Structure 1
Amino acid sequence: MKTTATISGEIERFINEHGMTINQLARTTGINSGTLSSIVNGRRPLSMKQLDLITSVMGLEEGHFYELYINECIFHSTPDWRRLGPFLYRCAELSKLDCLDTAVRMTLDNTTYLPMLYELAETFVQEAKYKAALLLYECVAESEKYQHSERLALCHYRLFKHRIENNQESNGRAVVLFEPYIERLNEADQLDAYLHVINVSLPLDRWDSIRNLAERMGKKARIQYENGNYLDTDSGKPNQPIIFYVLYYYMVLENYYAQLEDYERALEYVSLYDFPDWIVNPSDEERKILNQFHEWAIANRYLYRLLSGDREVLPEYIEYISTREDEIFTAICNIVLAANRHKMKIDHVLERFKDYLVYKSQRNIIAPVNEQVTLNNYTRLLAELGIYYLNAKQYERGLAYIVDSFEYAIRIRSDKGMLGCMGLFEQFRSFASSEILQRYQELIREVQKLSVYAWMPVV
């Protein structure tokens, strides 16, 4: 009997080659014989369960017929969600993402599927099927006709979070793509979205944008707190108590002025997040947040005195952070910066805290520290250590740290970091050992492969 490139044709060929009858195949698969007959004769579409049963009995790999299924049951028909949903789910389970993408895009003209596709994407996220979820979010975002819909904004938010990696170039693009959608989220999601975008933007030195984002976040959070909206659990709640977003806003503004070296203005914002009097009857969770910001306030007051050139404060600063494990790494980054700026000797500090001069994830009593922020701080710490030892005429040690920083700058795609390290190395190239010079040359070649500075000749 003639067979065709269809699922029913392949089933019929299997029956003939194995000398079987429809009834025998029905018993083997557990499918009703009348139903199976209708499927083979093309009068009834296959369900996913039936297709998987038949595929297994035929001894074929799971998903073997999925391309044909798309053509027969999706492209040349109008599938209902009872067939489409299970098919997409099985594609995700088997990592047949090409099939999933093709099937979804064939149905996007029917906008009634968009809510179901979005919910399925949310399910995929919960089940750690992230690649499948991203495909669905992208398809829903492309097809959503209501440009101010919350669902569209949520898709872009999910895409933004999954696009973030330890790459400042791609992170910058992700921020630009997502930022216009923040205001379209509900109020609870808005606060977390602002926080997330701010944290991703900090290593990028987008300070004017960071300040603007922080002000919008802080204003919204303060209004919600004063109106008591944070108590309304029906509309959802952000990940942190509302006061966190207000206090964090003040801290961002503090950092904004600190990077301008306007320490007097920075200290004004320190005072705003150090046990503010507008917070009434704090809960246990809010007290934990208040205590953390209070600790940061004490440490930062020491810091700004040190950055202003007050050498006498260093012992107090050291003793304060030495009993606070979570604050040591950040403090060391700042101390080395201050030492280079004011020509201080801190060998004793570096020796005491040498175990903290390695990269590892950071956290505080509230939550883990953003990984991109930690990587950026560590990259800068290595460069500052290099400068410190170069200034001390310990050239081999200093250049080793500069090369280490260069390697991390390449890893996180920090143009500013790469340029800074190359400038420093070239300035002290004559002091480099053959081993350090070889490492540097290898990293230069790596930079060229990235096409960041393709015009540079190979050294």
Structure 2
Amino acid sequence: MSRTTTISAILNDFMIQEGLNLRKFAEQVGINIGSLSYILNENRTLKMEQLDRITAVMGLPEGYFYNQYYDEVIAGSPPNWRKIKPFLYGCVEVGNLDLLLKTVQQLLDNLIYSPHLFEVAEDLNKNNKKEAAIILYENVAQSERHQHSERLALCQYRLFMCELENNQEKNYQAALQFELFVDRLGEYDQLEALKDLANTYRALSRWNKLEEIAERLKQIAQFLYQKGPKYDSDYKWHRPLFTYIAYANLLLGDVYEHKRDYEKTLQYIQLYNDLDWVKEQDEETVKWKEKFQDWAKMNTMVTKLAAGDASVLADYLAYMESNHDEVLLSLLNIIEFANRYHFNIDDILQRFDIPSLIIKHKSLNKVYTRQIIGGHIARFNNELCSYYLNKGGYRDGLNYLLNTLNKSVFISEKHCIFRLLGQYHFSYNDQHSGMKIISTNVQETSS
């Protein structure tokens, strides 16, 4: 087929080959006979839904005519959003992202189409068409790079969230890059953005950055809450406003727990446990208050364990076994406690099928982001490795060491990698008999 052949000429040839008259062909493709006549005579352009029906009747692959439709209709005439919008969605559905990009770049020669393309990107993102949404966000952001607009900041925010992946170093660079745009967002969108930034820094164990972002989140949320619900009643909240204040306190508690300032940690826990100041009483508010109070109960026990108080271990185990989605994280806290204070927890570890716990935790993408889940699993294997090596269980320790090293390399978690290499060096220097087991197990694993 020659590229100069028009779609209407191809349709006329098809009708001749199949022995179809205008009426029969119109019936098959579900188009009014008069409209079809105009199309075949090139007096009217095809709509996208008509083109798709015709393609199906002709037995051709979906999207077969899209490149030609672009040449004839999209590029061959002045921009018409009513035609271009369904064409963009069509390109996404058939996976022709090169043509999607080509169309978007042509359209953005005129900035009046930037808001329309942003709306399409938002819809694609909402419907999990991430790869296509990224193309639109990137090009809208590029077209508005000199505008300093809120839409530019929103594009950067969406790109940041879409492009988070398992590579922790790349995630860190992406977070630093996006942080430059947060202040350009509206105050309400800033809350969600700061929360997502905080979660990223938390997953990366970047505690100084986490503290900085959590303080900003708390300050803005408190300001908006004091303004009251009438400050912007039209805004569609992602979650109740008070939760951002409570969550900022939770994050700050994490920061001080990492610093081993357990008194300060417990003070922050009390702040998100005591929510009597919350004025709202609707069902969603009650649900969130219960969540934070439940987290406060759990984190109080975790903090006391971290401080060396073994008296809460029985209560913590009971809590852990009643909260099935949190078992792996709870067990991680117990292993860290055992490593720090040299407790024997063999009887606790024997209660659980650890490989199954890890598999289940990987599926919690509605609770945790994938980079947080990856970090959890790397830390879990890391702590188990330390536990077994410290008590002379070199075969088990090596298995977890290799699992952690593999996971840490995969997510570019340098902190875990250096710690693991340090543990391996320790075993070599101080446990020669154990080194024989390690060497044998390495060969078994590699084979």
Please, what TM-score do these two structures have when normalized by structure 2?
0.85
Partner of 1:412 in structure 2? 411
Preserved contact between residue 328 and residue 357 of structure 2 (Cα < 8 Å): no
Partner of 2:227 in structure 1? 227
| In structure 1, distance between residues paired with 2:77 and 2:11 | 20
1:438 aligns with 2:443: yes
| In structure 2, distance between residues paired with 1:298 and 1:36 | 69
Partner of 2:206 in structure 1? 206
Partner of 2:334 in structure 1? 335
Q: Secondary structure at the match of 1:137?
A: helix
| In structure 2, distance between residues paired with 1:20 and 1:435 | 76
Partner of 1:307 in structure 2? 306
Q: Percent identity?
A: 37
205-214 or 163-172, which moves further after superposition? 163-172
Preserved contact between residue 327 and residue 357 of structure 2 (Cα < 8 Å): no
1:145/1:173 Cα in 2 relative to 1: closer, same or farther (>3 Å)? Answer: closer
Q: CA deviation at 1:263?
A: 2.0
Partner of 1:63 in structure 2? 63
**1:343-398 Cα distance to aligned partner (Å, 9 max, x none):** 2222233234555983123899xx72344323312211211111111111111111
72-81 or 40-49, which moves further after superposition? 40-49
1:293 aligns with 2:298: no
290-299 or 196-205, which moves further after superposition? 290-299
Partner of 2:385 in structure 1? 386
3-12 or 270-279, which moves further after superposition? 3-12
**How do 1:323-362 and structure 2 match up within 5 A?**
323-353=322-352, 358-359=357-358, 360-361=360-361
Query: Any stretches of 5+ residues in structure 1 without a counterpart?
Result: 443-459
Q: CA deviation at 1:184?
A: 2.8
Q: Which amino acid aligns with 1:138?
A: E
Please, what TM-score do these two structures have when normalized by structure 1?
0.83
Partner of 1:457 in structure 2? none
Give me the CA root mean square deviation. 3.3
Q: CA deviation at 1:404?
A: 1.8
Q: Secondary structure at the match of 2:239?
A: coil
Q: Which amino acid aligns with 1:368?
A: V
1:7/1:358 Cα in 2 relative to 1: closer, same or farther (>3 Å)? Answer: same
Preserved contact between residue 117 and residue 136 of structure 2 (Cα < 8 Å): yes
Q: Which amino acid aligns with 2:131?
A: K
Query: Any stretches of 5+ residues in structure 2 without a counterpart?
Result: 429-434
| In structure 1, distance between residues paired with 2:65 and 2:171 | 39
| In structure 2, distance between residues paired with 1:287 and 1:33 | 60
Partner of 1:136 in structure 2? 136
Preserved contact between residue 361 and residue 369 of structure 1 (Cα < 8 Å): no
**How do 1:25-36 and structure 2 match up within 5 A?**
29=29
| In structure 2, distance between residues paired with 1:142 and 1:202 | 30
Preserved contact between residue 175 and residue 197 of structure 2 (Cα < 8 Å): yes
| In structure 1, distance between residues paired with 2:297 and 2:274 | 11
Q: Which amino acid aligns with 1:142?
A: Q
Q: CA deviation at 1:228?
A: 1.2
Q: Which amino acid aligns with 1:225?
A: Y
| In structure 2, distance between residues paired with 1:307 and 1:322 | 19
**1:161-190 Cα distance to aligned partner (Å, 9 max, x none):** 222233323322332332223333333322
| Equivalent pairs, count | 438
Q: Which amino acid aligns with 1:212?
A: E
Preserved contact between residue 117 and residue 140 of structure 1 (Cα < 8 Å): yes
Q: Secondary structure at the match of 2:367?
A: coil
| In structure 1, distance between residues paired with 2:268 and 2:203 | 21
1:161/1:60 Cα in 2 relative to 1: closer, same or farther (>3 Å)? Answer: same
